[in-house]
Structure 1
Amino acid sequence: MTTPQIFAPEGWFRPGRGPRYQQLYRHIAAAIQSGLLAAGDQLPPERDLAEMADISRVTVRKAVAELVAEGLIEQRQGAGSFVRTAPAERLEQSLSSLVSFTENMQARGMTSSSQVLRRGLFPATPQVVMALGLSPSDKAARIDRLRSAGGAPMALEASYLPADILPDPDLVETSLYAVLRANGCAPTRAIQRVTAVNLEARDADLLHLPTGAAVLKIERTGYLTSGRPIEFTSGLYRSDIYDFVSELRLDTV
């Protein structure tokens, strides 16, 4: 159990030493590292913590989001925020292996889940038209999903496919590739582009990160053996959890 004295403003706030949320974040992080807050301890509810620290709930939310991003705190839906019992495990994923998020988590012995945020057949955007070789009048299947594993949100993915490849997006619940393989039209190769971006507010809320946090953005175009592009996926992946790894080989002449 935590005590109110830990969060009293006289114990952590110093004028001129940065935003209040950063000072509170550093104070709680130090309390965890020193053992003052032990593994499994629950932080007070957001409203109570705001009163103890004499700050707004928005400030508390930003401080806790920083702690979550650092792997010091885990948020359990419907239960609250708790000091992690162990450091957050970083996941390595090969950039040269064409596997789905679901398959990657299964290979690690983790249970994955997907929350569908949006799906259906929509007019193709110019980017999707270019990536999939569609005409501007074509519609594309679109599936936006929040991908989680071990109870933690890990990635946001938006996938687009030609309507003839996926005429019914409602068929996809967890694994898009499983549906495509069942229909005999899964990609056999892909080209991926990796960049670093900063999260906007809506995406940050979904990933339990502070607005502006750096994440990895991966855009992937998947192709059939014939060379036809049939999948374009744009994903945001938590850089505090994911390490993407590629193998390089020396070309021989």
Structure 2
Amino acid sequence: TEGKYATDEKIPSESELSELYHVSRITVRRAVEELCSEGYLVKKQGKGTYVSQPKVIRKITQDKDVMGFSEACRACGMEPGAQVVNILRCPARSDEVRFLGLPPQSDVIFLQRVRTADGEPIMLENNFFPYEPFKGLLTAYEDLTNASLFDYLESRYGRRPESTVSCTLEIVRASSEQASYLSVITGDPMFYMNAYFLDGEGKPLVIGRQYIVGSRFVFNI
């Protein structure tokens, strides 16, 4: 915690720490276990214990206090980034039609970006907007590169995600495509967050389906 060991650096063994700080190995073991449980350290089988990478902390429940990825990164002392993967017009699925209040056979704008913290990929962001009011997004590649989506929506459209009517979180395993975008191994555990966002007037705005690297993210209530 004092910056003596850098991220991904291996710390000394229990016996070395015991001698270094003149405490028992049991005390050292308990301290290491506590730091592992809090996410500061990670044990790698057959290799030792290493300093973990910093984690982004974000709330699960988002009622009138929605925090975007960029804001969450900066609150944790990290610099957010975004690379646009796709901006497409595609047919709306049934839940998108229902939530966004669209006529049958409508289209949506699919915006996909890789979000980074201090240059490290953290999240594959998949957002779905009603086509007609947001068709300008199709030409917003540059505007949405290394930018806050929430801030962009507010400046361009005068609307910002303010709350969710539903937000679910589950554990999934990375597909080969997701793994390639997020620099993880296929099959690695990830968070999958599915959220339905309302604007400040309580009107449906966007559906977010995000795949998040589990080792780099912490959710709290």
User: Same fold judged by TM-score > 0.5?
Assistant: yes
Q: Displacement of 1:121 after TM fit?
A: 2.4
- Contact kept, 8 Å, 2:57 with 2:76, in 1: the verdict is no
Partner AA of 1:107 in structure 2: A
Per-residue CA deviation, residues 18-59 of structure 1 (Å, 9 max, x unaligned), is: xxxxxxxxxxx9x95668xxxxxxxxxxxxxxxxxxxxxxxx
Alignment partner for residue 223 of structure 1, among 194, 198, 221? 198
Equivalent position of 2:220 in the other structure = 245
The answer on 1:94 being equivalent to 2:67 is no
Partner AA of 1:189 in structure 2: S
Equivalent position of 2:99 in the other structure = 131
Q: Displacement of 1:210 after TM fit?
A: 1.4
Structure 2 residue ranges without an equivalent (≥5): 1-7, 14-41, 45-49
Question: In structure 2, do the counterparts of structure 1 residues 92 and 187 end up closer, same or farther at CA, with 3 Å as the change threshold?
Answer: closer
Partner AA of 2:125 in structure 1: E
Alignment partner for residue 232 of structure 1, among 179, 204, 207? 207
Whole-Å separation in 1 of the counterparts to 2:211 and 2:170: 10
The answer on 1:179 being equivalent to 2:144 is no
**Identical counterparts, % of pairs:** 20
- Contact kept, 8 Å, 1:94 with 1:245, in 2: the verdict is yes
Equivalent position of 2:38 in the other structure = none
- Contact kept, 8 Å, 1:120 with 1:168, in 2: the verdict is no
- Contact kept, 8 Å, 2:160 with 2:200, in 1: the verdict is no
Alignment partner for residue 87 of structure 2, among 119, 123, 129? 119
Whole-Å separation in 2 of the counterparts to 1:103 and 1:226: 21
Alignment partner for residue 188 of structure 1, among 162, 168, 174? 162
SS at match of 1:186: coil
Equivalent position of 2:78 in the other structure = 110
Structure 1 residue ranges without an equivalent (≥5): 1-28, 36-69, 73-84, 247-253
Q: Displacement of 1:167 after TM fit?
A: 2.1
Q: Displacement of 1:162 after TM fit?
A: 1.1
Equivalent position of 1:144 in the other structure = 112
Whole-Å separation in 1 of the counterparts to 2:10 and 2:200: 52
Whole-Å separation in 2 of the counterparts to 1:200 and 1:217: 12
Q: CA RMSD in A?
A: 2.6
Higher strand share: 2
Q: Give the TM-score of the pair, scaled to structure 1.
A: 0.61
SS at match of 1:113: strand
Task: Please tell me whether Structure 1 or Structure 2 has the larger radius of gyration of its CA atoms.
Answer: 1
- Contact kept, 8 Å, 1:165 with 1:230, in 2: the verdict is no
Equivalent position of 2:128 in the other structure = 160
Per-residue CA deviation, residues 157-199 of structure 1 (Å, 9 max, x unaligned), is: 1001112332211333322211211121212211311111111
Whole-Å separation in 2 of the counterparts to 1:149 and 1:91: 8
- Structure 1's consecutive aligned runs of 4 or more residues displaced over 4 angstroms after TM superposition are 31-35
Alignment partner for residue 174 of structure 2, among 179, 185, 199? 199
- Contact kept, 8 Å, 1:204 with 1:210, in 2: the verdict is yes
SS at match of 1:109: coil
SS at match of 2:134: coil
Between the two proteins, the alignment pairs up a number of residues equal to 172
Partner AA of 1:87 in structure 2: S
- Contact kept, 8 Å, 2:56 with 2:72, in 1: the verdict is no
Equivalent position of 2:184 in the other structure = 209
SS at match of 1:89: coil
